Amino acid sequence: MPHLAEEDNVGRVQLYDTLKERLQKKGLRDRELLRATYQVALQLAEPERLTEARTMMVETSPAWALSEFRDVKDAAGIDYAVQQISARHGVGTTTLTSLIEKYQRR
């Protein structure tokens, strides 16, 4: 990922859009590209782009996305992933969260 000056939000927006376009062409399979897109979205801290990046990650692999969100302590991302996994598998979010916490301690 290119280095951008901290105040270069215009460059970050352009970078995010370029990364997202590449991802859409590849069909969301490139995890490194997904991670880079998510990191730019985190730097921008724009709710719409963050939600979009989180959604792409969870659609690709909920377990991987959850791990990525946990690594950067993205509570909103963790909650989103847990909600999506819960909905897909018919498990309550409380139950799923307790399972995740149990196995994180190992």
In a domain, 79, yes or no: yes
On whether the CB atoms of residues 32 and 17 are closer than 8 A, the answer is no
d(CA 56, CA 66): 12
Q: Is residue 2 part of a domain?
A: no
Is 15 within the bounds of a domain? yes
Is residue 77 in some structural domain? yes
Q: Record the pTM.
A: 0.81
Q: Residue 48: its pLDDT value, please? A: 95
Q: What is the average pLDDT score of the chain? A: 86
Number of domains the chain contains? 1
User: Is the Cβ–Cβ distance between 23 and 34 less than 8 Å?
Assistant: yes
**CA 92/CA 86 separation, integer angstroms:** 6
Residue 104: the pLDDT is: 67
Is residue 4 assigned to a domain? no
**In this predicted model, what pLDDT tens digit does every residue of 68-106 receive, in sequence order?**
999 999 999 999 999 998 888 888 888 888 877 777 665
Q: What's the domain range around 72?
A: 9-104
Pick from 32, 43, 35: which is nearest to 5 by CA? 43
* 1 found inside a domain: no
Query: What are the tens digits of pLDDT across the range 60-69?
Result: 999 899 999 9
Confidence of residue 26 (pLDDT cuts 50, 70, 90): confident
